[in-house]
Chains A and B, each alone.
Chain A
Amino acid sequence: MRMLINVAETVVADALRGMAAAHPELTVDVDNRVIVRRDAPVAGRVGLVSGGGSGHEPLHGGFVGPGMLSAACPGEVFTSPVPDQMVRAAAAVDSGAGVLFIVKNYTGDVLNFDMAAELAEDEGIRVAKVLVDDDVAVTDSLYTAGRRGTGATLFVEKIAGAAAEEGAPLEAVEALARQVNENSRSFGVALSACTTPAKGSPTFDLPTGELELGVGIHGEPGRERRAMMTSHEIADFAVHAVLDDLAPRNPVLLLVNGMGGTPLLELYGFSAEVQRVLVERGVPVARTLVGNYVTSLDMAGASVTLCQVDEELLRLWDAPVKTPGLRWGV
Protein backbone atom coordinates (compact mmCIF):
# COMPACT_ATOMS: atom_id res chain seq x y z
CA MET A 1 0.00 0.00 0.00
CA ARG A 2 1.42 3.36 -0.98
CA MET A 3 0.69 6.21 1.39
CA LEU A 4 0.69 9.92 0.70
CA ILE A 5 2.90 10.73 3.69
CA ASN A 6 6.39 11.87 4.58
CA VAL A 7 7.23 9.53 7.45
CA ALA A 8 4.94 7.48 9.67
CA GLU A 9 6.07 9.31 12.82
CA THR A 10 4.64 12.67 11.72
CA VAL A 11 1.32 11.74 10.06
CA VAL A 12 -0.82 13.14 12.89
CA ALA A 13 1.17 16.37 13.25
CA ASP A 14 1.22 16.84 9.46
CA ALA A 15 -2.56 16.43 9.25
CA LEU A 16 -3.05 18.92 12.09
CA ARG A 17 -0.89 21.49 10.29
CA GLY A 18 -3.10 20.95 7.27
CA MET A 19 -6.26 21.43 9.32
CA ALA A 20 -4.87 24.62 10.82
CA ALA A 21 -4.19 26.06 7.39
CA ALA A 22 -7.49 24.94 5.85
CA HIS A 23 -9.77 25.91 8.73
CA PRO A 24 -9.03 29.33 10.18
CA GLU A 25 -12.33 29.05 12.07
CA LEU A 26 -10.59 26.49 14.31
CA THR A 27 -7.67 26.94 16.69
CA VAL A 28 -5.34 24.01 16.07
CA ASP A 29 -2.57 23.51 18.62
CA VAL A 30 -0.27 21.19 16.67
CA ASP A 31 2.26 20.70 19.49
CA ASN A 32 -0.27 19.87 22.17
CA ARG A 33 -2.71 18.18 19.78
CA VAL A 34 -5.91 19.98 20.58
CA ILE A 35 -8.45 21.35 18.08
CA VAL A 36 -10.74 24.03 19.51
CA ARG A 37 -13.45 26.17 17.93
CA ARG A 38 -12.01 29.65 17.64
CA ASP A 39 -14.73 31.42 19.66
CA ALA A 40 -14.32 29.13 22.71
CA PRO A 41 -15.15 29.40 25.50
CA VAL A 42 -18.67 30.51 24.55
CA ALA A 43 -20.24 32.36 27.49
CA GLY A 44 -22.85 30.35 29.36
CA ARG A 45 -22.53 27.33 27.07
CA VAL A 46 -21.54 23.81 28.06
CA GLY A 47 -18.32 22.70 26.35
CA LEU A 48 -18.26 19.41 24.46
CA VAL A 49 -14.92 17.60 24.29
CA SER A 50 -14.27 14.37 22.48
CA GLY A 51 -11.25 12.61 21.13
CA GLY A 52 -9.76 9.29 20.28
CA GLY A 53 -7.14 7.71 18.12
CA SER A 54 -6.45 9.27 14.73
CA GLY A 55 -7.37 7.41 11.56
CA HIS A 56 -11.16 7.89 11.89
CA GLU A 57 -11.36 11.28 10.17
CA PRO A 58 -13.45 13.38 9.94
CA LEU A 59 -14.22 12.06 13.48
CA HIS A 60 -13.47 13.90 15.83
CA GLY A 61 -11.53 16.99 14.74
CA GLY A 62 -13.73 17.44 11.67
CA PHE A 63 -16.75 17.79 13.94
CA VAL A 64 -15.46 20.78 15.90
CA GLY A 65 -17.45 23.96 15.40
CA PRO A 66 -20.73 25.71 16.21
CA GLY A 67 -23.52 23.18 16.82
CA MET A 68 -21.24 20.21 17.48
CA LEU A 69 -17.96 19.72 19.42
CA SER A 70 -16.18 22.55 21.21
CA ALA A 71 -12.85 20.71 21.08
CA ALA A 72 -11.27 17.45 19.99
CA CYS A 73 -8.10 15.64 21.06
CA PRO A 74 -6.50 13.47 18.37
CA GLY A 75 -4.25 10.65 19.57
CA GLU A 76 -1.71 8.69 17.59
CA VAL A 77 -3.23 6.46 14.90
CA PHE A 78 -5.75 4.14 16.59
CA THR A 79 -4.37 5.12 20.02
CA SER A 80 -6.31 7.05 22.62
CA PRO A 81 -5.03 10.56 23.32
CA VAL A 82 -3.37 11.25 26.69
CA PRO A 83 -5.00 12.97 29.70
CA ASP A 84 -2.88 16.13 29.25
CA GLN A 85 -4.62 16.82 25.91
CA MET A 86 -8.09 16.37 27.38
CA VAL A 87 -7.40 18.62 30.37
CA ARG A 88 -6.03 21.30 28.05
CA ALA A 89 -9.12 21.02 25.83
CA ALA A 90 -11.47 21.19 28.83
CA ALA A 91 -9.73 24.29 30.14
CA ALA A 92 -9.94 25.94 26.70
CA VAL A 93 -13.71 25.43 26.29
CA ASP A 94 -15.03 25.75 29.84
CA SER A 95 -17.04 28.94 30.29
CA GLY A 96 -18.00 27.94 33.81
CA ALA A 97 -21.02 25.99 32.56
CA GLY A 98 -19.11 22.72 32.66
CA VAL A 99 -17.72 20.28 30.13
CA LEU A 100 -19.08 17.02 28.74
CA PHE A 101 -16.56 14.35 27.69
CA ILE A 102 -17.90 12.15 24.89
CA VAL A 103 -15.94 8.88 25.10
CA LYS A 104 -16.05 5.92 22.74
CA ASN A 105 -16.04 2.70 24.74
CA TYR A 106 -12.51 1.37 24.31
CA THR A 107 -10.30 0.52 27.27
CA GLY A 108 -7.69 3.14 26.39
CA ASP A 109 -10.14 5.98 25.77
CA VAL A 110 -12.04 5.21 28.97
CA LEU A 111 -8.89 5.08 31.15
CA ASN A 112 -7.40 8.28 29.73
CA PHE A 113 -10.65 10.28 29.87
CA ASP A 114 -11.22 9.06 33.46
CA MET A 115 -7.78 10.30 34.49
CA ALA A 116 -8.39 13.58 32.64
CA ALA A 117 -11.76 14.10 34.33
CA GLU A 118 -10.11 13.81 37.75
CA LEU A 119 -7.36 16.25 36.81
CA ALA A 120 -9.82 18.75 35.28
CA GLU A 121 -12.00 18.62 38.39
CA ASP A 122 -8.89 19.38 40.45
CA GLU A 123 -8.61 22.53 38.35
CA GLY A 124 -12.20 23.46 39.24
CA ILE A 125 -13.84 22.41 35.98
CA ARG A 126 -17.18 20.61 36.27
CA VAL A 127 -16.95 17.48 34.09
CA ALA A 128 -19.59 14.95 33.04
CA LYS A 129 -18.87 11.90 30.88
CA VAL A 130 -20.93 9.86 28.46
CA LEU A 131 -19.80 6.55 26.97
CA VAL A 132 -20.76 5.62 23.41
CA ASP A 133 -21.17 1.86 22.91
CA ASP A 134 -23.39 1.11 19.93
CA ASP A 135 -21.69 -1.79 18.12
CA VAL A 136 -23.93 -4.86 18.26
CA ALA A 137 -21.19 -7.10 16.79
CA VAL A 138 -19.76 -7.36 20.31
CA THR A 139 -22.41 -9.58 21.83
CA ASP A 140 -20.76 -10.95 24.95
CA SER A 141 -20.28 -7.93 27.16
CA LEU A 142 -19.41 -10.03 30.22
CA TYR A 143 -16.27 -11.50 28.65
CA THR A 144 -15.17 -8.56 26.52
CA ALA A 145 -14.35 -4.89 27.07
CA GLY A 146 -18.02 -4.26 26.21
CA ARG A 147 -19.65 -2.95 23.03
CA ARG A 148 -17.48 -0.61 20.98
CA GLY A 149 -18.31 3.00 20.19
CA THR A 150 -18.65 3.53 16.43
CA GLY A 151 -21.13 5.36 14.18
CA ALA A 152 -23.41 6.53 16.99
CA THR A 153 -20.62 8.88 18.10
CA LEU A 154 -21.62 11.18 15.24
CA PHE A 155 -25.26 11.23 16.40
CA VAL A 156 -24.25 11.87 20.03
CA GLU A 157 -21.86 14.68 19.12
CA LYS A 158 -24.34 16.36 16.75
CA ILE A 159 -27.41 16.21 18.99
CA ALA A 160 -25.63 17.04 22.26
CA GLY A 161 -23.78 19.79 20.41
CA ALA A 162 -27.06 21.34 19.23
CA ALA A 163 -28.43 21.30 22.78
CA ALA A 164 -25.25 22.88 24.17
CA GLU A 165 -25.39 25.57 21.47
CA GLU A 166 -28.94 26.43 22.57
CA GLY A 167 -27.74 26.91 26.14
CA ALA A 168 -28.95 23.68 27.79
CA PRO A 169 -27.27 23.05 31.16
CA LEU A 170 -24.65 20.31 31.65
CA GLU A 171 -27.07 17.80 33.21
CA ALA A 172 -29.49 18.17 30.28
CA VAL A 173 -26.77 17.89 27.63
CA GLU A 174 -25.40 14.79 29.37
CA ALA A 175 -28.88 13.22 29.58
CA LEU A 176 -29.50 13.86 25.88
CA ALA A 177 -26.15 12.36 24.91
CA ARG A 178 -26.98 9.26 26.96
CA GLN A 179 -30.45 9.05 25.39
CA VAL A 180 -28.97 9.18 21.88
CA ASN A 181 -26.47 6.44 22.70
CA GLU A 182 -29.10 4.20 24.27
CA ASN A 183 -31.25 4.54 21.16
CA SER A 184 -28.44 3.84 18.68
CA ARG A 185 -27.01 0.59 17.30
CA SER A 186 -24.41 -0.15 14.63
CA PHE A 187 -22.99 -3.02 12.61
CA GLY A 188 -19.94 -2.91 10.32
CA VAL A 189 -18.38 -5.03 7.59
CA ALA A 190 -14.91 -4.95 6.03
CA LEU A 191 -14.04 -5.88 2.46
CA SER A 192 -10.35 -5.25 3.08
CA ALA A 193 -8.05 -4.72 6.05
CA CYS A 194 -6.54 -1.29 6.63
CA THR A 195 -2.89 -0.32 6.67
CA THR A 196 -1.56 1.67 9.61
CA PRO A 197 1.35 4.03 8.88
CA ALA A 198 3.38 2.44 11.72
CA LYS A 199 3.09 -1.05 10.26
CA GLY A 200 2.95 -0.24 6.56
CA SER A 201 1.15 -3.44 5.63
CA PRO A 202 -2.46 -4.62 6.12
CA THR A 203 -3.36 -5.31 9.77
CA PHE A 204 -4.80 -8.69 8.82
CA ASP A 205 -4.90 -10.91 5.78
CA LEU A 206 -8.23 -10.93 3.95
CA PRO A 207 -8.11 -12.86 0.67
CA THR A 208 -10.05 -11.59 -2.33
CA GLY A 209 -13.50 -13.15 -2.40
CA GLU A 210 -13.99 -13.01 1.37
CA LEU A 211 -15.31 -10.42 3.80
CA GLU A 212 -15.32 -9.81 7.56
CA LEU A 213 -18.64 -9.35 9.35
CA GLY A 214 -18.87 -7.40 12.59
CA VAL A 215 -15.71 -5.29 12.40
CA GLY A 216 -14.83 -2.32 14.53
CA ILE A 217 -12.96 0.75 13.37
CA HIS A 218 -9.40 -0.19 14.32
CA GLY A 219 -8.42 -2.62 11.61
CA GLU A 220 -9.12 -5.58 13.84
CA PRO A 221 -10.79 -8.57 12.20
CA GLY A 222 -14.50 -9.05 12.87
CA ARG A 223 -16.46 -11.82 14.52
CA GLU A 224 -16.77 -13.94 11.43
CA ARG A 225 -15.33 -14.39 7.95
CA ARG A 226 -17.50 -15.42 5.01
CA ALA A 227 -17.40 -15.74 1.24
CA MET A 228 -18.01 -12.36 -0.42
CA MET A 229 -21.63 -11.25 -0.38
CA THR A 230 -23.56 -8.78 -2.58
CA SER A 231 -24.58 -5.33 -1.36
CA HIS A 232 -28.13 -6.73 -1.13
CA GLU A 233 -27.02 -9.60 1.14
CA ILE A 234 -24.75 -7.44 3.29
CA ALA A 235 -27.59 -4.95 3.87
CA ASP A 236 -29.89 -7.80 4.96
CA PHE A 237 -27.26 -9.11 7.36
CA ALA A 238 -26.26 -5.74 8.84
CA VAL A 239 -29.77 -4.32 9.29
CA HIS A 240 -31.10 -7.55 10.78
CA ALA A 241 -28.17 -7.58 13.22
CA VAL A 242 -29.00 -4.04 14.30
CA LEU A 243 -32.75 -4.68 14.55
CA ASP A 244 -32.14 -7.83 16.62
CA ASP A 245 -30.93 -5.45 19.30
CA LEU A 246 -33.08 -2.35 18.72
CA ALA A 247 -36.81 -2.49 18.10
CA PRO A 248 -37.63 1.09 17.10
CA ARG A 249 -41.14 2.34 17.78
CA ASN A 250 -40.24 5.77 16.39
CA PRO A 251 -38.60 6.83 13.11
CA VAL A 252 -34.83 6.51 12.92
CA LEU A 253 -31.84 8.49 11.78
CA LEU A 254 -29.85 6.35 9.35
CA LEU A 255 -26.09 6.63 8.92
CA VAL A 256 -24.62 4.61 6.05
CA ASN A 257 -20.99 5.11 6.85
CA GLY A 258 -18.00 4.35 4.66
CA MET A 259 -14.86 2.94 6.30
CA GLY A 260 -12.58 5.08 4.15
CA GLY A 261 -11.78 2.88 1.15
CA THR A 262 -15.20 2.37 -0.39
CA PRO A 263 -16.36 4.84 -3.09
CA LEU A 264 -19.52 6.90 -2.58
CA LEU A 265 -20.98 5.24 -5.67
CA GLU A 266 -20.93 1.91 -3.79
CA LEU A 267 -22.06 3.50 -0.52
CA TYR A 268 -25.17 5.02 -2.14
CA GLY A 269 -26.00 1.69 -3.76
CA PHE A 270 -25.59 0.03 -0.37
CA SER A 271 -27.73 2.74 1.21
CA ALA A 272 -30.54 1.89 -1.22
CA GLU A 273 -30.34 -1.75 -0.09
CA VAL A 274 -30.37 -0.69 3.57
CA GLN A 275 -33.46 1.46 2.94
CA ARG A 276 -35.11 -1.52 1.23
CA VAL A 277 -34.56 -3.75 4.29
CA LEU A 278 -35.86 -1.04 6.60
CA VAL A 279 -39.03 -0.73 4.50
CA GLU A 280 -39.44 -4.52 4.64
CA ARG A 281 -39.05 -4.41 8.41
CA GLY A 282 -41.48 -1.50 8.73
CA VAL A 283 -38.98 0.98 10.17
CA PRO A 284 -39.56 4.54 8.95
CA VAL A 285 -36.44 6.59 8.24
CA ALA A 286 -36.61 10.25 9.26
CA ARG A 287 -33.19 11.35 7.92
CA THR A 288 -30.36 9.66 6.05
CA LEU A 289 -26.67 10.52 6.00
CA VAL A 290 -24.37 8.73 3.52
CA GLY A 291 -20.60 9.18 3.46
CA ASN A 292 -17.25 8.59 5.12
CA TYR A 293 -17.67 9.92 8.66
CA VAL A 294 -16.29 7.36 11.13
CA THR A 295 -13.52 5.76 9.14
CA SER A 296 -10.81 3.18 9.63
CA LEU A 297 -7.96 4.61 7.51
CA ASP A 298 -8.15 3.00 4.05
CA MET A 299 -10.34 0.04 5.00
CA ALA A 300 -12.95 -0.89 2.41
CA GLY A 301 -16.36 -1.56 3.87
CA ALA A 302 -19.26 0.15 5.55
CA SER A 303 -21.28 0.33 8.72
CA VAL A 304 -24.96 0.93 9.34
CA THR A 305 -26.08 2.96 12.35
CA LEU A 306 -29.69 3.52 13.35
CA CYS A 307 -30.77 6.01 16.01
CA GLN A 308 -34.36 6.04 17.16
CA VAL A 309 -35.51 9.65 17.55
CA ASP A 310 -38.45 11.50 19.04
CA GLU A 311 -39.48 14.98 17.84
CA GLU A 312 -37.01 16.74 20.13
CA LEU A 313 -34.02 14.64 19.02
CA LEU A 314 -35.02 15.15 15.39
CA ARG A 315 -35.27 18.91 15.92
CA LEU A 316 -31.78 18.95 17.45
CA TRP A 317 -30.45 16.79 14.59
CA ASP A 318 -31.84 19.34 12.09
CA ALA A 319 -30.41 22.32 14.01
CA PRO A 320 -27.63 24.31 12.29
CA VAL A 321 -24.12 22.87 12.37
CA LYS A 322 -20.93 24.37 11.00
CA THR A 323 -17.91 22.08 11.10
CA PRO A 324 -15.41 20.88 8.48
CA GLY A 325 -17.10 17.47 8.34
CA LEU A 326 -20.77 18.25 8.82
CA ARG A 327 -22.43 21.48 7.79
CA TRP A 328 -26.04 22.52 7.26
CA GLY A 329 -28.57 25.20 8.17
CA VAL A 330 -25.94 27.96 8.25
Chain B
Amino acid sequence: MLNADFFRRWMTVTAVSVDREAERLTELDSPIGDADHGSNLQRGFTAVTAALEKEAPDTPGAVLALAGRQLISTVGGASGPLYGTLLRRTGKALGDAPEVTGEQLTDALRTGVDAVMALGGAAPGDKTMIDALVPAVDALAESFAAAKSAAEEGAVATTPLQARKGRASYLGERSIGHQDPGATSSALLIAALVEAAGE
Protein backbone atom coordinates (compact mmCIF):
# COMPACT_ATOMS: atom_id res chain seq x y z
CA MET B 1 0.00 0.00 0.00
CA LEU B 2 1.14 3.55 -0.76
CA ASN B 3 0.53 6.24 1.85
CA ALA B 4 0.95 10.04 1.93
CA ASP B 5 4.61 9.65 2.90
CA PHE B 6 5.27 7.74 -0.29
CA PHE B 7 3.66 10.49 -2.38
CA ARG B 8 5.60 13.19 -0.53
CA ARG B 9 8.81 11.27 -1.26
CA TRP B 10 7.77 10.98 -4.91
CA MET B 11 7.53 14.77 -5.13
CA THR B 12 10.75 15.51 -3.22
CA VAL B 13 12.72 12.96 -5.24
CA THR B 14 11.34 14.55 -8.42
CA ALA B 15 12.44 17.96 -7.15
CA VAL B 16 15.95 16.65 -6.55
CA SER B 17 16.21 15.07 -10.02
CA VAL B 18 14.83 18.19 -11.69
CA ASP B 19 17.51 20.18 -9.84
CA ARG B 20 20.20 17.76 -10.92
CA GLU B 21 19.01 17.63 -14.55
CA ALA B 22 17.96 21.28 -14.94
CA GLU B 23 20.85 22.24 -17.17
CA ARG B 24 20.31 19.23 -19.40
CA LEU B 25 16.57 20.01 -19.74
CA THR B 26 17.38 23.60 -20.67
CA GLU B 27 20.01 22.38 -23.12
CA LEU B 28 17.45 20.08 -24.80
CA ASP B 29 15.02 23.02 -24.89
CA SER B 30 17.50 25.25 -26.76
CA PRO B 31 17.47 23.90 -30.32
CA ILE B 32 13.70 23.30 -30.43
CA GLY B 33 12.29 25.54 -27.71
CA ASP B 34 13.28 28.60 -25.76
CA ALA B 35 15.94 27.32 -23.38
CA ASP B 36 14.11 27.49 -20.09
CA HIS B 37 12.47 24.13 -19.37
CA GLY B 38 14.96 23.26 -16.62
CA SER B 39 14.73 26.53 -14.74
CA ASN B 40 10.93 26.64 -15.01
CA LEU B 41 10.46 23.16 -13.53
CA GLN B 42 13.08 23.89 -10.88
CA ARG B 43 11.07 26.89 -9.73
CA GLY B 44 7.89 24.80 -9.70
CA PHE B 45 9.17 21.79 -7.78
CA THR B 46 10.98 24.02 -5.28
CA ALA B 47 7.59 25.57 -4.55
CA VAL B 48 6.01 22.10 -4.34
CA THR B 49 8.57 20.93 -1.75
CA ALA B 50 8.09 24.08 0.33
CA ALA B 51 4.30 23.81 0.23
CA LEU B 52 4.34 20.12 1.21
CA GLU B 53 6.51 20.93 4.24
CA LYS B 54 4.31 23.82 5.27
CA GLU B 55 0.88 22.28 4.80
CA ALA B 56 1.68 18.60 5.45
CA PRO B 57 -1.29 17.09 3.55
CA ASP B 58 -2.10 13.65 4.98
CA THR B 59 -3.59 11.67 2.07
CA PRO B 60 -2.07 10.65 -1.28
CA GLY B 61 -4.74 12.60 -3.14
CA ALA B 62 -4.15 15.76 -1.10
CA VAL B 63 -0.37 15.59 -1.65
CA LEU B 64 -0.76 15.46 -5.43
CA ALA B 65 -3.55 18.06 -5.53
CA LEU B 66 -1.40 20.50 -3.55
CA ALA B 67 1.62 19.79 -5.75
CA GLY B 68 -0.45 20.37 -8.88
CA ARG B 69 -1.82 23.68 -7.62
CA GLN B 70 1.71 24.86 -6.81
CA LEU B 71 2.93 24.02 -10.31
CA ILE B 72 0.02 25.91 -11.90
CA SER B 73 0.74 28.95 -9.70
CA THR B 74 4.51 29.08 -10.15
CA VAL B 75 5.71 27.54 -13.41
CA GLY B 76 3.86 29.38 -16.17
CA GLY B 77 4.39 28.51 -19.82
CA ALA B 78 2.71 25.36 -21.08
CA SER B 79 4.51 23.15 -18.55
CA GLY B 80 2.78 24.76 -15.56
CA PRO B 81 -0.82 24.01 -16.58
CA LEU B 82 0.11 20.63 -18.11
CA TYR B 83 2.15 19.22 -15.20
CA GLY B 84 -0.18 20.93 -12.74
CA THR B 85 -3.20 19.29 -14.34
CA LEU B 86 -1.44 15.91 -14.43
CA LEU B 87 -0.85 15.92 -10.68
CA ARG B 88 -4.11 17.60 -9.69
CA ARG B 89 -6.26 15.22 -11.71
CA THR B 90 -4.27 12.19 -10.58
CA GLY B 91 -4.70 13.37 -7.00
CA LYS B 92 -8.40 13.97 -7.46
CA ALA B 93 -8.82 10.46 -8.88
CA LEU B 94 -7.16 9.00 -5.77
CA GLY B 95 -9.88 10.55 -3.62
CA ASP B 96 -9.32 10.92 0.13
CA ALA B 97 -8.17 7.40 1.01
CA PRO B 98 -5.24 7.37 3.49
CA GLU B 99 -3.57 4.59 1.48
CA VAL B 100 -3.88 3.43 -2.12
CA THR B 101 -2.79 0.35 -4.04
CA GLY B 102 -0.40 0.36 -6.98
CA GLU B 103 -3.35 -0.51 -9.15
CA GLN B 104 -5.27 2.54 -7.92
CA LEU B 105 -2.24 4.71 -8.66
CA THR B 106 -2.07 3.30 -12.19
CA ASP B 107 -5.74 4.06 -12.81
CA ALA B 108 -5.46 7.54 -11.31
CA LEU B 109 -2.34 8.37 -13.32
CA ARG B 110 -4.14 7.26 -16.48
CA THR B 111 -6.93 9.72 -15.62
CA GLY B 112 -4.28 12.42 -15.14
CA VAL B 113 -2.58 11.68 -18.45
CA ASP B 114 -5.95 11.72 -20.23
CA ALA B 115 -6.62 15.15 -18.72
CA VAL B 116 -3.26 16.40 -20.01
CA MET B 117 -4.08 15.14 -23.50
CA ALA B 118 -7.49 16.84 -23.37
CA LEU B 119 -5.98 20.13 -22.17
CA GLY B 120 -2.99 20.31 -24.50
CA GLY B 121 -4.55 18.48 -27.43
CA ALA B 122 -1.50 16.26 -27.91
CA ALA B 123 -1.66 12.61 -28.91
CA PRO B 124 1.10 9.98 -28.80
CA GLY B 125 3.66 10.67 -31.53
CA ASP B 126 3.35 14.47 -31.40
CA LYS B 127 6.76 14.74 -29.68
CA THR B 128 5.52 15.84 -26.26
CA MET B 129 5.47 14.67 -22.63
CA ILE B 130 2.66 12.30 -23.64
CA ASP B 131 5.21 10.13 -25.46
CA ALA B 132 6.85 9.29 -22.13
CA LEU B 133 3.72 9.25 -19.96
CA VAL B 134 1.47 6.94 -21.98
CA PRO B 135 3.96 4.02 -22.19
CA ALA B 136 4.84 4.60 -18.53
CA VAL B 137 1.23 4.20 -17.41
CA ASP B 138 0.88 1.09 -19.58
CA ALA B 139 3.94 -0.45 -17.89
CA LEU B 140 3.01 0.67 -14.38
CA ALA B 141 0.82 -2.39 -13.83
CA GLU B 142 3.97 -4.48 -14.06
CA SER B 143 6.27 -2.47 -11.76
CA PHE B 144 7.66 1.00 -11.05
CA ALA B 145 10.94 -0.10 -12.64
CA ALA B 146 9.14 -1.14 -15.81
CA ALA B 147 7.35 2.22 -15.92
CA LYS B 148 10.68 4.00 -15.50
CA SER B 149 12.22 2.12 -18.44
CA ALA B 150 9.14 2.67 -20.58
CA ALA B 151 9.17 6.43 -19.89
CA GLU B 152 12.88 6.72 -20.62
CA GLU B 153 12.51 4.75 -23.84
CA GLY B 154 9.52 6.88 -24.78
CA ALA B 155 11.53 10.06 -24.24
CA VAL B 156 14.43 8.83 -26.36
CA ALA B 157 11.99 7.71 -29.05
CA THR B 158 10.84 11.32 -29.53
CA THR B 159 14.16 12.17 -31.20
CA PRO B 160 13.26 11.17 -34.79
CA LEU B 161 9.72 12.61 -34.50
CA GLN B 162 8.52 15.90 -35.99
CA ALA B 163 6.85 18.07 -33.34
CA ARG B 164 3.16 18.75 -33.87
CA LYS B 165 2.36 20.56 -30.62
CA GLY B 166 3.98 23.28 -28.59
CA ARG B 167 6.73 25.65 -29.55
CA ALA B 168 8.89 23.03 -31.28
CA SER B 169 6.10 22.56 -33.84
CA TYR B 170 6.95 25.93 -35.41
CA LEU B 171 10.21 24.42 -36.64
CA GLY B 172 8.49 21.87 -38.87
CA GLU B 173 10.95 19.26 -40.09
CA ARG B 174 13.79 21.01 -38.29
CA SER B 175 12.44 19.64 -34.99
CA ILE B 176 13.48 16.15 -36.14
CA GLY B 177 16.65 14.82 -34.52
CA HIS B 178 16.18 16.41 -31.10
CA GLN B 179 14.89 14.68 -27.96
CA ASP B 180 11.81 16.40 -26.54
CA PRO B 181 12.52 18.22 -23.25
CA GLY B 182 8.96 17.68 -21.96
CA ALA B 183 9.12 13.92 -22.53
CA THR B 184 12.53 13.95 -20.81
CA SER B 185 11.22 15.69 -17.69
CA SER B 186 8.20 13.37 -17.65
CA ALA B 187 10.63 10.44 -17.56
CA LEU B 188 12.29 12.04 -14.50
CA LEU B 189 8.90 12.23 -12.77
CA ILE B 190 8.20 8.56 -13.45
CA ALA B 191 11.75 7.48 -12.50
CA ALA B 192 11.27 9.17 -9.13
CA LEU B 193 8.57 6.60 -8.31
CA VAL B 194 11.23 3.89 -8.14
CA GLU B 195 13.40 5.81 -5.71
CA ALA B 196 10.40 6.89 -3.62
CA ALA B 197 9.46 3.23 -3.25
CA GLY B 198 13.00 2.43 -2.19
CA GLU B 199 13.34 -0.11 -4.99
Q: Which residues of A line the B interface, CB within 8 A? A: 8, 53, 75-84, 106-108, 111-112, 115, 137-138, 140, 143-145, 148, 196, 198-199, 203-204, 216, 218-221, 223
Q: Provide 16 A-B residue pairs closer than 8 Å at the C-beta atoms, listed in order of the A residue.
A: A79-B34, A80-B80, A108-B78, A111-B119, A115-B72, A115-B81, A137-B170, A144-B170, A145-B165, A145-B166, A196-B34, A196-B35, A198-B26, A203-B34, A216-B167, A220-B171
State the Cβ distance, B46 to closest chain A Cβ, in Å.
Answer: 11
Is there a chain A Cβ closer than 8 Å to B160's Cβ? no
Interface size class of B (residues with CB under 8 A): 35 or more
Q: Which residue of B lies closest to A51 (CB)?
A: B76
What's the minimum C-beta distance from B103 to chain A, rounded to whole angstroms?
Answer: 31
CB-based contact B172/A223 at 8 Å: yes
Query: Main SS of the interface on chain A?
Result: loop
- Docked Cα-Cα span, A108 to B75, in Å, equals 10
CB distance B30 to A76 under 8 Å? no
B102 within 8 A of A: no
B81 & A111 in contact (Cβ 8 Å cutoff): yes
Q: Restricting to B20-46, which residues have a CB under 8 Å from any CB of A?
A: 26, 30-36, 38-40, 43
**A79 contact set on B, CB distance < 8 A:** 34, 36, 40, 75-77
Is residue B124 within 8 Å, beta carbon to beta carbon, of the partner chain? no
Known contacts being A77-B36, A108-B78, A219-B34, is A84 close to B169, with CB within 8 Å? no
Interface flag for B79 (CB, 8 Å) = yes
User: Residues of A contacting B162 with CB < 8 Å?
Assistant: 143
Interfacial chain B residues near A78, Cβ < 8 Å: 34-36
CB pair B81 A84 closer than 8 Å: no
Chain B residues contacting A137 (CB-CB under 8 Å) are 170
Report the Cα distance A84→B72, complex, angstroms: 9
Interface set, chain B 158-186, CB cutoff 8 A to A: 162, 164-167, 169-172, 174
- Assuming A112-B76, A204-B30, A220-B170, what are 13 further A-B pairs, CB within 8 angstroms? A76-B40, A76-B43, A78-B34, A79-B76, A79-B77, A108-B78, A143-B162, A144-B169, A196-B34, A196-B35, A198-B39, A199-B30, A223-B172
Taking a contact as CB atoms under 8 Å apart, the answer to whether B172 and A108 are in contact is no
Determine whether B108 belongs to the interface, using a CB cutoff of 8 Å to chain A.
no
Which chain B positions have C-beta within 8 A of A75? 76-77
Residues of A near B167 (CB, < 8 A) are 106-107, 145, 216, 218, 220
| Central interface residue in B31, B33, B165, B171, by most chain A CB within 10 Å | B171
Residue of A nearest to B79 (CB): A108
Once the chains bind, are B166 and A107 in contact (CB under 8 Å)?
yes
Specify which chain A residues have a CB less than 8 angstroms from the CB of B76 in the assembled complex: 53, 75-76, 79-82, 108, 112
Give 9 nearest A-B pairs by CB, closest first: A144-B169, A108-B77, A111-B81, A108-B78, A107-B78, A79-B77, A218-B34, A199-B35, A78-B34
Nearest-CB residue, chain B, relative to A55: B34
Would you call A204 and B31 a contact (CB within 8 A)? yes
B74 interface hit (Cβ, 8 Å): yes
**In the complex, what's the smallest C-beta–C-beta distance from B183 to chain A, in angstroms?**
15
- A203: which B residues are within 8 A, CB to CB? 30, 34-35
Separation of A76 and B39 alpha carbons in the complex (Å): 10
- In the bound assembly, the distance between CA atoms of A82 and B165 in angstroms comes to 20
A196: chain B residues at CB < 8 Å are 34-36
**Is B174 a contact partner of A221 (Cβ separation < 8 A)?**
yes
Judged by a CB distance under 8 angstroms, whether B73 is at the interface is yes
Q: B33: which A residues are within 8 A, CB to CB?
A: 220
